[in-house]
Amino acid sequence: MEAELIKTEEVSFDMIYQQDKAQIDTQIATAKAYPRNIQQAVQDSIATVTMDVETASSCSYALPRGGKTLNGPSVHLALILAQNWGNLRIEAKIASIDNKTITSQAVCFDLQKNIAIKVEVKRSIITKTGRMNDDMITVTGNAANSISLRNAILKVIPKAVVDKVSKSAKQLITGDISDETKLIKKRTTVLDGLKNTYGVTEKEVLDILGKPSTANITGEDLVTLIGYAQAIKDGDSTADLIFRAKKVENQNKEEKVDSAKLLLRINQAKTKEALEKLKKDIPEDDLDTYTVYSDRLKELSNPVNTANTNPGNLP
């Protein structure tokens, strides 16, 4: 078996900078020589997003915020627009990872207009069971890259263009719902899809839309529901956060109450043995409570400090 030869070479920062600069200069020159045709770019984008219902459905997302629904173009629509808009240099990468968050950084550079936008997106890597494993951190990082890239692209391409293409996609999503029979059929398809894919119940759908019954769900509501599903699929949110927000909020309140009680018991512990028994009750992801526990353990381990912090124990 032949030995594998690995060649390494030190490359200076200046050399890398000059290579990138030369590449960008070439791209700018090409963009100036072949400027984009805006009307053609819009037409090509519309043609792409309306190829089929599946593609059109992937072009928007929806998220509940403050009792209202926030709708917007998805990363899939942003990429379609970037491809047809042309003369763009786009990039997304992980900028940093710390104990609690992962940060993505994306840049969209319009080579023709000489404008560049940089966007950062942070995502939590802490769950109820503690810090995510490496595989899940990678998945979360990829989702953060998609979101930051979308935001950067949509800050460069004019909103009027984005809205026009997005409107065409939404019209295809609902399809022909000109009569009640067709609307009922489309409504059933969407509700069954949410139930089978994400376990969303009819009641949860009605609660999030604020409707008394499924008969009141309109074509616009269907676009919103499809947007919710796309947001879950893209990693922007989860089914629990969208459709079960109140339940999750109540659970968080209960956890905060339990955490407050645990902190009180930690501070009231008189011996190391009593304190160490409480360690098993600290959630793995509750770094703040664990810090209080560690500080209290140091106090109890040092008789001098314990006496100073508990003057009532002095004779």
- Per residue in 242-267, pLDDT (tens digit) is 888 766 555 555 555 466 777 778 78
Q: Are 123 and 104 in contact (CB under 8 A)?
A: yes
Higher pLDDT, 16 or 135: 135
pLDDT at position 314 is 43
Q: What is the mean pLDDT of residues 120-140?
A: 87
Paired with 109 in beta bridges are: 89, 116
**Residue 127 per-residue DSSP state:** E
Residue 27 tokens read as: 């791209």
CA distances from 305 to 189, 263, 289, 293 (A): 67, 19, 20, 15
Q: Is the pLDDT of residue 157 over 50?
A: yes
**Residue 157 per-residue DSSP state:** S
Residues ≥6 apart with Cβ < 8 Å to 160: none
Paired with 64 in beta bridges are: 69
pLDDT at position 306 is 45
Q: What percentage of the chain exceeds 90 in pLDDT?
A: 37
pLDDT at position 240 is 83
Q: Is the pLDDT of residue 207 over 90?
A: no
pLDDT at position 244 is 80
pLDDT at position 91 is 92
pLDDT at position 150 is 95
What distance in Å separates the CA atoms of residue 256 and residue 190, rounded to the nearest whole number? 36
Cβ neighbourhood burial of 192 (10 Å; 0-12, 13-18, 19+):
exposed
pLDDT at position 156 is 95
pLDDT at position 278 is 77
Instruction: Report pLDDT digits (tens) over 83-109.
Output: 999 999 999 999 999 988 999 999 999
Helix axes 202-209, 180-198, angle to 10 degrees: 110
Q: What is the mean pLDDT of residues 203-221?
A: 89
Look-up of token digits 């509700």: 191
Q: Are 28 and 114 in contact (CB under 8 A)?
A: yes
Pure H helices in the chain: 13-33, 38-49, 53-57, 75-85, 134-156, 159-174, 180-198, 202-209, 219-234, 239-243, 245-268, 272-276, 287-301, 303-309
Residues ≥6 apart with Cβ < 8 Å to 137: 97, 102, 125
Q: Are 45 and 80 in contact (CB under 8 A)?
A: yes
Higher pLDDT, 176 or 139: 139
Higher pLDDT, 194 or 271: 194
Q: Single out the residue of 146, 258, 72 nearest to residue 250, CA to CA.
A: 258
Residues ≥6 apart with Cβ < 8 Å to 170: 56, 60, 223
Least confident of 25-29, 188-192, 240-244, 294-298: 294-298
Q: Is the pLDDT of residue 289 over 80?
A: no
Going by pLDDT thresholds of 50, 70 and 90, the confidence category of residue 154 is very high
**What is the per-residue DSSP string for 33-100?**
HS---HHHHHHHHHHHHTS-HHHHHTTEEEEEETTEEEEEE-HHHHHHHHHHH-SEEEEEEEEEE-SS
Cβ neighbourhood burial of 1 (10 Å; 0-12, 13-18, 19+):
exposed
- In the chain, the N- to C-terminal Cα span, in Å, equals 80
Look-up of token digits 């009792």: 67
